[in-house]
Amino acid sequence: MKIPLPHYFLMIQGNNKMFDDVIHEFHNSLNTKVVPIPHPLKKADKGIDISNHTLSKLKEIVEKEDFENTPDEIEFFKKIKPCPMSYLIYFSEVRSCETRKPKAGKNFQFRFFEKELRKINKFFYKNNDFVQYMEQGHEYLDHQLFTRNHRKNYPFTPMINYYQYPEFSSSHDMLWAKIQAMYRLIHFIREAMETLRPGKQSGLMDKKHKVMLWSGSKTSLVELIYALYANGDLNHGTVDISTITSSFEDFFNIKLENIYKTYSEIKSRKGPRAKYLHNLILRLEAKMNQDDEK
């Protein structure tokens, strides 16, 4: 099963292209070096290594290039750095769960995971104002939350940053990364709990959707997948490209090969690049106009 990844996909210009390349490499490493590992502890250890390595690369770029303007700085600390940072937190939490959970007794293990979920709920309750600010897409406090000039001005409660470097941290990029990590951890814990309740799991597995076939081009489907990913409309924006792709492959009975390469080809188009999405808008508008005329 694919590991959930962060939802922001970078489509930015200038020297931020270097950030884009690092994040692409990060996703590819997760998909090729972490996803295939079956053992949770080994998977977490590898994920931690890759996340740390990616953060080090980003830190090096920031130290050498810095930011051309405040919007670029906000973009980095709000959308770019939290991507691998959230995975570092997520894999660290998974590793902690796996090492602390009871070694025997399904009931003991189930109660352990229930306790972990209660901890996560407390975390979200404590940071509810900030969660609402982020999930509602607000931006009016971004200059305080996601720039280095306002690290001591906290409109929301920050968290202790254990990856703290003065020129590589804002007051709330770590908190935002942890929020994304906790959404993934909820998913991990729920799956672990389902394995302890095989009756319910088999009931869920029996619910098969009707066979649907994607009859458009594969490139069009990739364009649609990236649009959903970029807009953050799935799993509160914490789901990654590979997970969305896997779900679409299962639902539409199709195999999408190397979607990163396909996406690069879409970006290199001349003229309107999102041709399929543009065509969808035209078709929908025409359909609604036709319905109005009836």
Six-digit token string for 115: 């306790």
Do residues 220 and 263 lie in contact, with contact meaning Cβ atoms separated by under 8 Å? no
Do residues 2 and 35 lie in contact, with contact meaning Cβ atoms separated by under 8 Å? yes
Block residue for tokens 């709000």: 78
Find the farthest-apart pair of alpha carbons in the chain and give their distance in angstroms, rounded: 67
Question: Apex CA 239: angle with CA 146 and CA 32, to 5°?
Answer: 105
- Helix 106-126 to helix 173-195 angle (10° resolution) is 160
pLDDT in tens, 13-71: 444 678 888 888 888 888 888 888 888 899 999 999 999 999 999 888 888 888 888 88
pLDDT in tens, 155-180: 555 454 445 565 678 888 889 999 98
Do residues 201 and 195 lie in contact, with contact meaning Cβ atoms separated by under 8 Å? yes
| pLDDT over 90 percentage in the chain | 17
Do residues 80 and 23 lie in contact, with contact meaning Cβ atoms separated by under 8 Å? yes
- Helix 82-100 to helix 40-65 angle (10° resolution) is 150
Block residue for tokens 């229930």: 114
DSSP-based three-state secondary structure for 183: helix
pLDDT in tens, 74-123: 888 888 888 899 999 999 999 999 999 888 888 898 999 999 999 999 99
- CA 81/CA 173 separation, integer angstroms: 7
CA neighbor of 177 nearest in space, from 53, 79, 97: 79
- CA 205/CA 195 separation, integer angstroms: 12
Q: What is the pLDDT of residue 113?
A: 92
